[in-house]
């Protein structure tokens, strides 16, 4: 037995030793030395790649860069397929070594030239995130947006989608597209981000997403800014960190200040201050104190504002923090209505020194402007003019610098695009040579394929012919409906003028009233038909506007019920809106109005006198389900199956009202355009329920 055990150990000992040492840097370094001496470049490149990944995973980036640099000197230039991926890594890791330094962006620019050589999808994604964020920090928004846009397809094409990654990406795409004034795209990224956030556990990124969404709503002056900030605060409180909650409350405080509610602002800002004071986050506490000073100032409590800013100044003079750069300017601003020009000038001159030290030209220009105003107040016009001239010179230099930066960015983009084009051409040339060698072998297979395709095309042709016949039948039915439904009301109006003249001559007022009612009903029917026809035709061509936004469901229902109130009263039908005030959907306002108008009209049409029509909602996960219930005649099972098509039997309403059959078809198309579904349930003699869903905010 002991001999057998020793034999097993002896047999597996080399394997155990190999597994133990397989992922140690010593083993890789030994392999590198061995491959270097034998000039085995391929094995050397693989070992170097593994070693650099090991050092990165263990946060020894300096070591990774050192060995990559050595390897790039060893591998000859003609081994491009081996050298290019390692060059990419070397420059990416060089940036990671000190990612906060904007001077390292050229490393990312160089790495991007070798980007197409990388096979590993996650490595590509990580690099593009770093590159896009670095460009965003450098305020190269156009190029940053271009880089972020490349990440989405990579994330979505992975075998297992990383929803945390997607939330982070959509938040970045939202902010960059907002900065570029691409507001429709920003709204779409906000919608996508909120959708995938339901499957994410990266709560810091989710908080960022809602904060960015609120900022976007603020720019567009849309409803929902405050709700987005509040949602961010709630998520941070339930799942996030104290930092997340503090950031959300800072945004809320700033929002309350913008709508002139400084007391609310002070309340949420104090909450953030308490949290961050415990965390000893001096930068964030300073930012909160500055915003609190602003709240005091808006609330006409100038002394508290000055006292708070003075506390900030004392901290800044001991230790420079991120929020200190305009601290003296703030003090002068709060003093401007209550203090003499000399006092303001004292702080503004201190601001000049700080701005010059920081190289902040924008703030320097504004400070010179403010100083010039104080000199004007003192009637010192010569000095005021000197300050104004300096402010203008600084603004001119800023504009020139901006222009040069844009030109440099454009040159970089063109260089990258030129490199990509050349790279694609080289790859295409290589493919052409490869295809030519394979062409003769493919000819025989091609002939067999042609026969198979011929049979398949014959089958598809037969299928298409049947579909064409069905489309022709639908077209004929559609034109029949339109011809009948437009001709009928027009015929009804034919001769109305002569009848009115006759009844006027006879002074028959009762008949004139009936005739007027007939004209009103006919014109309403014709108007409704033409509205539905136009909307349906635009939908088929893809031309109907689609601008999703936050929509209050209750107000839409109220408007449409008011529209049909008179018709309902004539039939003795009671209308009830049971929708709560806070129910909102993310959809096109006009589309929601058209859908509810058609469904309420239908419900009234097929409800007997003395009946009841109600509208209610139910929210399930990310959808709001809007239900239109009636106590009408109901629909049989056969008709229910064809309800949302043109191939249904049209019925008259309980008071002989007519319809075109287009209304429900239009509702279905509009609901689907707005990312929802529609269905109906009914029982003959009891009533019907039409239910359609729309996305929540």
Q: What is the pLDDT of residues 476-529, one digit of tens each?
A: 555 545 544 454 456 555 556 666 766 677 677 776 677 676 676 666 656 666
The three-state secondary structure class of 693 is strand
Q: Is the pLDDT reported for residue 85 higher than 50?
A: yes
The pLDDT assigned to 182 comes to 87
Angle at 513 between CA 511 and CA 516, to 5 degrees: 110
Average pLDDT over every residue of 105-134? 78
What average pLDDT does the segment 608-622 reach? 93
Q: How far is residue 233's CA from residue 229's CA, in Å, rounded to a whole number?
A: 6
Please give the Cα distance from 75 to 376 (Å, whole number).
70
Structural fold of domain 543-695: Heat Shock Protein 90 (3.30.565)
pLDDT at 631 over 90: yes
Calculate ∠ Cα 632-633-638, nearest 5°: 125
Is 163's pLDDT higher than 90?
no
The tokens for 91 are 């420059």
371 pLDDT more than 70: yes
Per the model's pLDDT, the better-predicted residue between 412 and 319 turns out to be 319
Higher pLDDT, 575 or 361: 575
pLDDT band at 469 (very low <50, low <70, confident <90, very high): low
As a whole number, mean pLDDT of residues 658-677 equals: 82
Angle at 96 between CA 95 and CA 102, to 5 degrees: 45
Crossing angle of the two packed helices 163-179 and 141-156, in degrees rounded to 10: 150
The whole-angstrom separation of Cα 217 and Cα 210 is: 10
Tens of pLDDT, residues 58-74: 777 777 777 777 777 77
Helices (H), 261-321: 262-279, 282-298, 302-318
Q: What is the pLDDT of residue 682?
A: 92
Residue 586 pairs in a beta bridge with 550
Assign 20 a pLDDT band (cuts: 50, 70, 90): very low
610 and 595 Cβ atoms separated by less than 8 Å? no
Helical (H) or strand (E) element with 255 = helix 242-258
626: left (phi over 0), alpha (psi -120 to 50) or beta: beta
Output 660 or 583, whichever has higher pLDDT: 583
pLDDT at residue 10, as a whole number? 36
Strand ranges across the sheet with 687-695: 574-577, 612-620, 623-630, 687-695, 678-683
Domain ranges of the chain: 24-119, 543-695
180-195 residue pLDDT tens: 888 888 888 888 888 9
139 phi-psi bin (left φ>0, alpha ψ -120 to 50, beta other):
left
Mean pLDDT calculated for residue range 121-147: 82
Q: How far apart are CA 238 and CA 226, in angstroms?
A: 18
The single-letter DSSP state of residue 23 is T
Mean pLDDT to the nearest integer, 11-33? 53
Using pLDDT thresholds of 50, 70 and 90, give the confidence band for residue 435: low
Q: In this predicted model, what pLDDT tens digit does every residue of 566-578 receive, in sequence order?
A: 888 888 999 999 9
Report CA Rg, the chain.
Answer: 36
Direct distance between the N- and C-terminal alpha carbons of the chain, in angstroms, rounded to an integer: 71
Strands 574-577 and 612-620: parallel
Q: What is the pLDDT of residue 21?
A: 40
Burial class (CB in 10 A: 0-12, 13-18, 19+), 221: exposed
pLDDT bin (cut points 50, 70, 90) of residue 317 is confident
Res 693: pLDDT? 95
Name which residue leads in pLDDT, 581 or 396: 581
Stretch 293-307: mean pLDDT, rounded?
A: 88
* Cα–Cα distance, 634 to 625 (Å, whole number): 21
Q: What distances in angstroms separate CA 284 from CA 171, 278, 546, 611, one per listed residue?
A: 21, 12, 41, 62
**pLDDT above 70 coverage of the chain, percent:** 74
- For residue 323, the 8-state DSSP code is G
Helix/strand/coil for 425: helix
Phi and psi at residue 223, to the nearest 5°: -65, 145
Residue 7 pLDDT: 39
Least confident of 234-238, 467-471, 476-480, 669-673: 476-480
Q: 636 CB contacts (<8 Å, ≥6 apart)?
A: 684
Tell me how far apart the alpha carbons of residues 289 and 281 are, in angstroms, rounded to a whole number.
12
pLDDT at 651: 73
Please check the confidence at residue 95 and state whether its pLDDT lies above 80. Answer: no
- Which among 15-19, 157-161, 511-515 has the top mean pLDDT? 157-161
- Residue 353 in this model has a pLDDT that exceeds 80: yes
Contacts of 128 (CB under 8 A, 6+ apart): 147, 148, 150, 151, 154
Q: Of 32-41, 228-237, 611-620, 680-689, which gets the smallest average pLDDT?
A: 32-41
Task: Give domain 24-119's CATH number out of 2.40.128, 3.30.70, 1.25.40, 1.10.3470.
Answer: 1.25.40
Share of the chain residues as helix, strand and coil, in percent rounded to the nearest 5: 75, 5, 20
* Pairwise CA distance, residues 348 & 651, whole Å: 80
Q: How confident is the model at residue 23 (pLDDT cuts 50, 70, 90)?
A: low
Identify the residue with better confidence: 550 or 254: 550
- Residue 393: alpha-carbon gap to chain centroid: 40
Q: Is the pLDDT of residue 364 over 80?
A: yes
Q: Which residues contact 66 (CB under 8 A, 6 or more apart)?
A: none
pLDDT in tens, 528-557: 666 666 665 665 656 567 788 999 999 999
What is the rounded CA–CA span in Å between residue 252 and residue 448?
A: 69
Burial readout 26-52 (b: 16 or more C-beta within 10 A, e: otherwise): ebbeebbeebbeeeebeebbebbbbbb
| Nearest Cα residue to 293 out of 285, 302, 284 | 302
In the structure, what pLDDT confidence band is assigned to residue 603 with cuts at 50, 70 and 90? very high
Distance in angstroms (rounded) separating the CA atoms of residues 585 and 174: 20
Helix extents (H) in 378-508:
381-493, 496-506
pLDDT at 431 over 70: no
pLDDT at 471: 54
Q: For residue 661, give every residue at least 6 positions away whose Cβ sits within 8 Å of its Cβ, in sequence order, or none.
A: 481, 646, 648, 650
Report pLDDT for 511: 66
* pLDDT for res 1: 40
- For the chain, the average pLDDT equals 77
| Residue bearing the bigger pLDDT, 399 or 157 | 157
501 CB neighbour count, 10 Å cutoff: 10
Local confidence band at 474 (pLDDT 50, 70, 90 cut-offs): low
* pLDDT at res. 670: 86
Instruction: Decide if 52 contacts 67 (C-beta within 8 A).
Output: yes
As a whole number, mean pLDDT of residues 403-415 equals 52
* pTM value > 0.85: no
> Residue 678 pairs with which residues in a beta bridge?
692
Q: Above 50 in pLDDT, residue 4?
A: no
Query: CA 334 to CA 581: how far, in whole Å?
Result: 41
């Amino acid at each position: 037995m002991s001999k057998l055990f020793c034999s097993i150990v002896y047999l597996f000992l080399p394997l155990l030793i190999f597994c133990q040492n397989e992922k140690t840097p010593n083993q890789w370094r030994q392999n590198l030395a061995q491959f270097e001496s034998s000039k085995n470049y391929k094995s050397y490149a693989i070992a170097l790649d593994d070693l650099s990944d090991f050092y990165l995973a263990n946060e020894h980036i300096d070591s990774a860069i050192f060995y990559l640099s050595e390897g790039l000197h060893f591998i000859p230039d003609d081994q491009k397929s081996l050298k290019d991926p390692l060059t990419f890594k070397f420059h990416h890791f060089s940036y990671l070594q000190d990612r906060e330094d904007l001077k390292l962006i050229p490393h990312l620019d160089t790495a991007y030239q070798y980007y197409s050589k990388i096979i590993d999808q996650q490595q590509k994604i990580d690099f593009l995130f770093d590159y896009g964020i670095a460009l965003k920090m450098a305020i190269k928004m156009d190029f940053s947006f271009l880089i972020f846009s490349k990440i989405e397809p990579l994330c979505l094409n992975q075998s297992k989608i990383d929803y945390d990654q997607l939330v982070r990406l959509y938040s970045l795409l939202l902010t960059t597209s907002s900065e570029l004034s691409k507001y429709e795209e920003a709204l779409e990224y906000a919608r996508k981000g909120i959708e995938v956030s339901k499957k994410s556990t990266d709560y810091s990124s989710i908080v960022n997403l809602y904060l960015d969404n609120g900022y976007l709503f603020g720019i567009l002056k849309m409803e929902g800014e405050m709700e987005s900030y509040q949602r961010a605060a709630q998520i941070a409180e339930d799942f996030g960190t104290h930092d997340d909650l503090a950031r959300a409350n800072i945004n809320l405080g700033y929002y309350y200040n913008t709508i002139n509610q400084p007391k609310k602002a002070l309340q949420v800002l104090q909450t953030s201050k308490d949290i961050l004071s415990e965390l000893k986050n001096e930068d964030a506490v300073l930012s909160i104190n500055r915003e609190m000073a602003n709240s005091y100032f808006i609330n006409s409590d100038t002394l508290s504002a000055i006292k708070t800013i003075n506390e900030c100044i004392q901290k800044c003079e001991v230790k420079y923090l991120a929020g200190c750069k305009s601290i003296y300017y703030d003090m002068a601003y709060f003093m401007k209505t209550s203090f003499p020009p000399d006092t303001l000038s004292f702080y503004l001159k201190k601001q000049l020194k700080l701005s010059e030290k920081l190289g902040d030209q924008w703030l320097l220009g504004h400070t010179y402007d403010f100083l010039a105003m104080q000199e004007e107040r003192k009637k010192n016009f010569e000095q005021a003019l000197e300050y104004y001239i300096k402010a203008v010179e600084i603004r001119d230099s800023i504009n020139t610098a901006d222009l040069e930066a844009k030109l440099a960015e454009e040159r970089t983009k063109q260089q990258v695009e030129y490199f990509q084009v050349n790279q694609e051409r080289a790859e295409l040339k290589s493919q052409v040579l490869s295809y030519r060698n394979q062409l003769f072998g493919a000819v025989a297979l091609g002939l067999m394929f042609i026969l198979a395709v011929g049979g398949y095309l014959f089958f598809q042709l037969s299928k298409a012919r049947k579909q064409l016949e069905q489309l022709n039948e639908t077209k004929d039915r559609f034109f029949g409906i339109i011809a009948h439904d437009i001709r009928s009301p027009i015929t009804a109006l034919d001769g109305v003028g002569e009848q009115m003249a006759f009844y006027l001559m006879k002074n028959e007022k009762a008949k004139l009233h009936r005739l007027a009612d007939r004209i009103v009903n006919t014109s309403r029917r014709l108007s409704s038909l033409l509205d539905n026809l136009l909307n349906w035709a635009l939908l088929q061509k893809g031309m109907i506007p689609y601008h999703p936004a936050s929509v209050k469901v209750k107000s839409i229902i109220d408007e449409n019920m008011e529209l049909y109130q008179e018709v309902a009263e004539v039939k003795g039908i009671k209308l009830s809106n049971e929708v709560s005030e806070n129910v909102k959907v993310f959809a096109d306002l006009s589309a929601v109005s058209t859908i509810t108008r058609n469904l309420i009209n239908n419900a009234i049409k097929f409800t007997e006198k003395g009946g009841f029509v109600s509208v209610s909602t139910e929210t399930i996960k990310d959808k709001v389900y809007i239900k239109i219930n009636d106590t009408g005649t109901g629909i049989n099972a056969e008709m229910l199956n064809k309800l949302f098509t043109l191939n249904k039997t049209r019925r008259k309403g309980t008071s002989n009202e007519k319809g075109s059959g287009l209304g429900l078809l239009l509702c279905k198309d509009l609901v689907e355009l707005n990312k929802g579904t529609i269905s109906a349930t009914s029982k003959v003699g009891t009533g019907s329920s039409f239910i359609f869903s729309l996305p929540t905010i």
